[in-house]
Amino acid sequence: MAILVDAGTKVVVAGITGSEGTFHSLRNRAYGTQVVAGVTPGKGGQDVEGIPVFDTVEDAVEATGANTSLIFVPARFAAEAIYEAADAGLHLVVCITEGIPVRDMAQVGAYLRGTDTVLVGPNCPGVISPGSANVGIIPGEICAPGRVGLVSRSGTLTYQIVHELTQRGVGQSTCVGMGGDPVHGLGFIGSLERFEADDGTDLVVMIGEIGGDDEERAAAFIAERMSKPVVSYIAGFTAPPGKRMGHAGAIITGSSGTAVAKAEALEAAGVQVGRTPTEVAELVRFALS
Amino acid sequence: MDLYEHQGKDLFERAGIPLPERAVASTPQEAAEAAERLGGHVAVKVQVQMGGRGKGGGVVLVHSPEEAAREAARMLEQGFGGAPVTRVLVERLVDIAAQFYAAISLDRSEGTYLAMVSNDGGIEIEEVARTKPQAIRRVHVHPVRGLRPYQARRLTGHLPPEAREGAAEILTEASSVLEQTDATLIEINPMVLLTDGTVMALDSKVTVDDNALFRQPDVAALSDSFPIDPIEQRAREAGLQYVKLDGEVGIIGNGAGLVMATLDVVKQAGADAANFLDVGGGASAEVMATSLEVILSDPSVRSVLVNIFGGITRCDLVAKGILEALERVTPRVPIVVRLDGTNAEEGRQILAEANHPKIVPAATMLEAAERAATLALEGAA
């Protein structure tokens, strides 16, 4: 078992004919993921190494039964690609693209609230359920099938921690890279909720970083709703305090957004917080032994 | 991108928000002339991209052109909060009857904007939020519909009756500035009621979304006036995220989270990072070379730690980049290199074959941090 993506996932890649789109589509397919279609306006009828390309997502869904969108298009077209995927009825959209304006994402978020579509990202490394499906850019070879769920705001830091888990013989059910943008789709809470309900997950690793209050909110959710153990890491204990414009941010969250504040909130909710990636992997191994 | 107060006020003015008469001055002479023209009783306000000006001596009320010149000279000479100052704002004093706080800001956890008005203005708004939350009215602003008139009425309904209409207009106009400039923060602290019944904005803090600058050319052009450290400038031109810190271990990594974690691990190993440098995805030889040049130009660096976890980034290219950089710059300190992920084996092989005297390979992130810390502390001794 896993969350979000599995052997039944059929991916349509928006921006498949771009260099990154092509590279990662083929890599995901080589991993065993069903990459059934690509979309590039004006290139319908072509193919990328045997993956058929369509002009629209709806065309791709009709022809191939795709149920998940993976987006690589440039930032200024990314919001459009998300709307198109949602309107084609896809239940999961994974948006890798970075640099999308906040206003576009706020509008996308408001739109998606009225649909059944779940967005992961943007500015994220994607989702992998080791052994069954890789939808994004997480290197498959550092993962191993297992029973630890992982959710993270970071990209390469996720790889570091997954790598350390795998090296210790600790496999993963699903790794979710939720992305680091201020306005994003699925977050810690949505991921934790799914891991809590997943029979294939025994423990969850949650990787946060300084800024915002996602971790504090997750801590409140964990205290109330999680029966499975959670181990966490927060990056940025030694990061210098950023210069701050105005007071609005602090008034909204009531939080300082520092790593210490986040770690304290999580520890108060019964979460073990490792101070380095290595310590996190050790805590997980110990908790499972 | 954080705007100067006077730049934010120019945006306010175009949207119709009432403001005090004012002029920008970049010399004491210009400040004196502006004060003269504005009637002598003025505020001289330092223009910097940070808050805390009121408490830090960055806003001074004066009563003659001579005093205005003197304060302007002090601000231009001393800078503010460690930042250089190239201009001040000279503003006519107004007769204030009451002070409020108004802001529209991105609310990350709700994924939309939040407008707020406090009827208790002045400096310590965070204190008000803690101790008198009922003084602050909050309304979420839909990212498509914008701030509706009924919402502006609700937000300002706890202000003195004579301030409500003017304040509601300012909120509506501020909302249109936010929409039209892709701002993520507009803060007016204070928004004031004058004795003649006018409501106006005495200050402006505007932050514009960096990701939207491609479609905001007029706003993007304002950055030409911001002072930039030459090393940071160089890094920025190469597409690197670089922040100077106070320690002795130079850090190069890919991805903000991994770089922050590297800083933390170096600290745990007993040393301090000299910088934050994120090469982003797809670190080419050219990018690695520039990164090393940037780091090594900092005299306090005693060792360098390169921590790369390849995803999109290929470690063989990183290794080639390091070697190429070492042809361009002669390193005075050891460079600890840790490579993992995509093509890591090939990358390590390339470095091993080169057998460069300054390169110290490390197998794990922890080991790399410990080596770099030890070398830095030995180098400093």
pLDDT by 10-residue block (mean), chain A, 289 residues: 95 95 96 98 96 98 98 96 98 96 97 96 96 96 97 93 96 96 95 98 96 92 98 89 65 76 96 95 96
Q: What domain range is A82 assigned to?
A: 10-120
Contact across the interface for B258 and A157, Cβ inside 8 Å: yes
B255: nearest CB among A154, A217, A233: A154
Contact across the interface for B276 and A138, Cβ inside 8 Å: no
**Across A201-205, A239-243, B142-146, B232-236, least confident range:** A239-243
Domain end call among A104, A120, A136: A120
Contact across the interface for B215 and A180, Cβ inside 8 Å: no
Contact across the interface for A155 and B255, Cβ inside 8 Å: yes
Task: Please tell me whether residues A62 and A150 are part of one structural domain.
Answer: no
- The fold for domain B21-93 equals Dna Ligase; domain 1 (3.30.1490)
Residues from chain A contacting residue B273 (CB–CB below 8 Å): 238
Contact across the interface for B109 and A20, Cβ inside 8 Å: no
Return the pLDDT at A141: 92
Return the pLDDT at B196: 97
A209: nearest CB among B49, B257, B342: B257
Contact across the interface for A183 and B106, Cβ inside 8 Å: yes
A33 by Cβ neighbours in 10 Å (0-12 / 13-18 / 19+) ranks as: buried
Domain end call among A74, A105, A120: A120
**pLDDT band with cut points at 50, 70 and 90 for residue B227:** confident
**pLDDT band with cut points at 50, 70 and 90 for residue B236:** confident
Residues from chain A contacting residue B264 (CB–CB below 8 Å): 235-238, 275-276
Residues from chain B contacting residue A249 (CB–CB below 8 Å): 105, 185
Contact across the interface for A160 and B365, Cβ inside 8 Å: yes
Task: Please tell me whether residues A132 and A115 are part of one structural domain.
Answer: no
Residue of B127, B102, B106, B130 whose CA lies nearest to B116:
B102
Contact across the interface for B311 and A105, Cβ inside 8 Å: no
**Is residue A33 assigned to a domain?**
yes
* A66-90: pLDDT as tens digits: 999 999 999 999 999 999 999 999 9
**Is residue A261 assigned to a domain?**
yes
Return the pLDDT at B327: 87
Return the pLDDT at B325: 85
Return the pLDDT at B48: 93
Catalytic residue among B5, B71, B101, B173: B101
**Is residue A103 assigned to a domain?**
yes
**pLDDT band with cut points at 50, 70 and 90 for residue B23:** very high
Higher pLDDT, B296 or B198: B198
Cα–Cα separations (whole angstroms), residue B23 to A184, B19, B162? 41, 12, 29
Distance from CA of B342 to the nearest CA of A (A): 7
Separation of alpha carbons B145 and B136, rounded Å: 23
Task: Please tell me whether residues A143 and A191 are part of one structural domain.
Answer: yes
Task: Please tell me whether residues A112 and A250 are part of one structural domain.
Answer: no
Residues from chain B contacting residue A219 (CB–CB below 8 Å): none
Look up residue A258 and give its two tokens.
């520092």
Which 341-380 residues of chain B touch chain A by CB within 8 A? Answer: 341-342, 364-366
H-run or E-run covering A289: none
- Contact between A149 and A203 under an 8 Å Cβ cutoff? The reply is yes
pLDDT at B322 over 60: yes
Residues 6 or more apart whose CB falls under 8 angstroms from that of B329 comprise: B289, B292, B293, B296
**Across A102-111, B46-55, B227-236, least confident range:** B227-236
Q: Does B61 touch chain A (CB under 8 A)?
A: no
Question: Mean pLDDT over residues B60-85, rounded?
Answer: 95
Question: Mean pLDDT over residues B297-317, rounded?
Answer: 90
Residue of A nearest to B213 (CA): A101
- Contact between B173 and B197 under an 8 Å Cβ cutoff? The reply is no
Statement: B230-380 belongs to CATH 3.30.365.10: no
Identify whether B190 is preceded by a cis peptide bond (ω within 30 of 0): yes
Task: Please tell me whether residues A150 and A113 are part of one structural domain.
Answer: no
Contact across the interface for B109 and A212, Cβ inside 8 Å: yes
Residues from chain B contacting residue A184 (CB–CB below 8 Å): 111
Contact across the interface for A103 and B212, Cβ inside 8 Å: yes
Residues 6 or more apart whose CB falls under 8 angstroms from that of A190 comprise: A118
Task: Please tell me whether residues A132 and A104 are part of one structural domain.
Answer: no
> Which of 3.40.50.1370, 3.30.470.20, 3.40.50.1460, 3.40.50.720 is the CATH number of B1-19+95-227?
3.30.470.20
**Across A4-18, B155-169, B214-228, least confident range:** B214-228
Residues 6 or more apart whose CB falls under 8 angstroms from that of A102 comprise: A181, A182, A183, B106, B182, B184, B209, B211, B212
**Is residue A212 assigned to a domain?**
yes
Distance from CA of B86 to the nearest CA of A (A): 19
Residue of A nearest to B272 (CA): A238
Task: Please tell me whether residues A105 and A146 are part of one structural domain.
Answer: no
Q: What does residue A19 show for φ and ψ, rounded to 5 degrees?
A: -65, -45
Q: Which residue has the tokens 């992130």?
A: B365
Cα–Cα separations (whole angstroms), residue B194 to A47, A108, A147, A172, A227? 68, 41, 65, 63, 57
Q: Which amino acid does the sequence have at A47?
A: D
Return the pLDDT at B55: 84
In chain A, the number of structural domains is: 2
Between A and B, how many residue pairs show a Cβ–Cβ distance under 8 A?
Answer: 199
Task: Please tell me whether residues A88 and A34 are part of one structural domain.
Answer: yes
Return the pLDDT at B56: 86
Contact across the interface for B182 and A102, Cβ inside 8 Å: yes
Q: Where are the domains of chain B?
A: 1-19+95-227, 21-93, 230-380
Beta bridge partners of A120: A94
pLDDT at B313 over 90: no
**pLDDT band with cut points at 50, 70 and 90 for residue B284:** confident
Pick from B246, B312, B339 the residue to mutate for testing the A interface (most A CBs within 10 Å).
Answer: B312
Task: Please tell me whether residues A89 and A38 are part of one structural domain.
Answer: yes
H-run or E-run covering A69: strand A68-71
**pLDDT band with cut points at 50, 70 and 90 for residue B32:** very high
Task: Please tell me whether residues A83 and A163 are part of one structural domain.
Answer: no
Return the pLDDT at B226: 87
**Across A191-205, A251-265, B86-100, B246-260, least confident range:** A251-265
Distance from CA of B36 to the nearest CA of A (A): 31
Residue of A nearest to B179 (CA): A103
Separation of alpha carbons A15 and A17, rounded Å: 6
If phi > 0 it is left, if psi is from -120 to 50 it is alpha, else beta; for residue B363 that is: alpha
Mean pLDDT of chain B: 93
Domain end call among A120, A137, A172: A120
Our answer to whether residue B4 is catalytic in this structure is: no
Residue of B nearest to A138 (CA): B311
Residues from chain B contacting residue A126 (CB–CB below 8 Å): none
- Its ipTM equals 0.90
**Is residue A46 assigned to a domain?**
yes
A139: nearest CB among B245, B253, B341: B341
Cα–Cα separations (whole angstroms), residue A65 to A34, A60, A90? 11, 7, 10
Identify whether A41 is preceded by a cis peptide bond (ω within 30 of 0): no
